[in-house]
Structure 1
Amino acid sequence: MISYYLSLSNVSSLVTLVIRRDMGIIVPSSMNKALSHSSSRSMVTEEMQALELNATWQLVLHPSSKSGVGCKWVYIVKVGPDGFMDRLKVHLVAQGFTHMYGEDYFETFSPIAKITSFRFFSVLVVQFSWPLYWLDVKNAFLYRDLQEEAYME
């Protein structure tokens, strides 16, 4: 099977889009298009429930003295190890690029694994013949309260 020789993670986003299009995977380009399909609708509902369950926000009036951050729905096709669509993921993301460091926020934190750590772990897996499993976390949140007030529109 071709997925043993080709991984979409090593291909540019433009080429990946063409490959996925040829595989029949359509990524919604707007909320209206996403909501026209029942599977996409259920994904949006699932994301909203996860955000509410984790108490991600509170509905409040937006003070005129504070600038608000816009938001956008992002649709991601998760491809399985066989190279075919595993599922569609939907995320509500804040457009934080509109905020100014030192004015709207004072610190950023985004933990990620370094590629050297991943390579080291891969060597251990091969060296000790450990089984390797595929894992996909549906909703991961960093449990830390914001120190600043942030408003999303």
Structure 2
Amino acid sequence: MGIFKPKAWLSVVTDLDKTEPRSYKETLLHPRWKQAMLEGHEALIQNNTWPLTPLPQDHKVIGSKWVFRLKQTPSGEIARFKARLVAQGFSQDYGIDYFETSSPMVKLITIRLVFHYFISQLGHLIT
């Protein structure tokens, strides 16, 4: 019949410079995300986040996963690539798999608000 329509293949290309990876495998393909993972792991080691201990027979291993975030400046430019290793806490039992939780993160804006509050209260005390 002489009619020919070429097949068009849809190709999806993701730009990992502007998106957060969804899997560990995606991360390994991009040098900046891979470096962020290495930095996150090194921070855990330097801070002595956890000690390595043998697994008791009556306990189960708690899984972990990497969480990836792009940190941006107020103008929307990428400031840094951040990778964090987090425990899959939904499978933990209090008192068995962990005894305490901590989140030592504080943002600069929080400190500024607290200082502003105390200074404003101090002003009321002086007058």
TM-score (norm 2): 0.62
Give the superposition deviation at 1:94: 0.7
Q: What's the secondary structure of 1:50's corresponding residue?
A: helix
Find the counterpart in structure 2 of residue 28 from structure 1: 21
Gap runs ≥5 in structure 2:
1-13, 121-127
Aligned residue number for residue 96 of structure 1: 89
2:11 alignment partner in structure 1: none
Q: Name the SS for the 2:41 alignment partner.
A: helix
Query: What's the TM-score once normalised by structure 1's chain length?
Result: 0.53
The DSSP-based 3-state class of the residue aligned with 2:81 is: strand
Any unmatched runs of 5+ in structure 1? 1-20, 129-153
Q: How many residues align?
A: 102
- What value does the CA root-mean-square deviation take over the aligned residues? 3.4
Query: 2:60 aligned with 1:67, yes or no?
Result: yes
Looking at structure 1, the residues matched to 95 and 55 of structure 2 have their Cα atoms a distance apart, in angstroms, of 20
- Quick check: 1:43 aligned with 2:29? no
The amino acid of 1:87's aligned partner reads: R
Are residues 74 and 53 of structure 1, via their aligned partners in 2, closer, same or farther at CA, if it must alter by over 3 Å?
Answer: same
1:70-85 to 2 correspondences below 5 Å: 70-85=63-78
Task: Name the amino acid aligned to 2:67.
Answer: V
**AA at the equivalent of 1:33:** E
Q: Which has the higher contact order (CA 8 A, sep 6+)?
A: 1
Identity %: 36
* Within-5 A mapping of 1:1-153: 25-110=18-103, 118=110, 121=113, 124=116
Larger Rg: 2
Distance 1:103 1:123, change over 3 A: closer
Alpha carbons of 1:88 and 1:109: their partners in 2 closer, same or farther (altered >3 Å)? closer
